[in-house]
Structure 1
Amino acid sequence: MTNELSTIIANVGFPIAISMYLLVRIEGKLQVLSDSIAELSKTLLEFNK
């Protein structure tokens, strides 16, 4: 049982770790993109006045 559990963790743990790392990186980039879109929207509203 212990050998099977360690094999499952070894096989699944690495992909989970990589997925979490990529999600954290993408989240930061999405926040920057969202902020840029909000700033662009404000600029366009001011430009149309």
Structure 2
Amino acid sequence: MYDELVKLISNVGFPVAVSVYLLVRLDKRLEQIIMLLSAMEHRERERRP
């Protein structure tokens, strides 16, 4: 992982490498949030008469 990060920084520059890293991390969290919201919506639908 470290070697790939160093190659990425040397090829495209530090700001781009940091942006890509943050987008990848954000994507994982967004998937979790979407799953939780879907579960909450499903529970709410089950509670309604």
- Bin the TM-score by the shorter chain: 0.7 to 0.9
Matched pairs, number: 40
Give unmatched runs, 5+ long, in structure 2. 1-8
Larger radius of gyration: 1
Runs of 4+ in 1 over 6 A off after TM superposition: none
- The higher-RCO structure (CA 8 Å, 6+ apart) is 2
Give unmatched runs, 5+ long, in structure 1. 1-8
Q: What TM-score, normalized to structure 2?
A: 0.73
Instruction: Report % sequence identity.
Output: 35
Q: What TM-score, normalized to structure 1?
A: 0.73
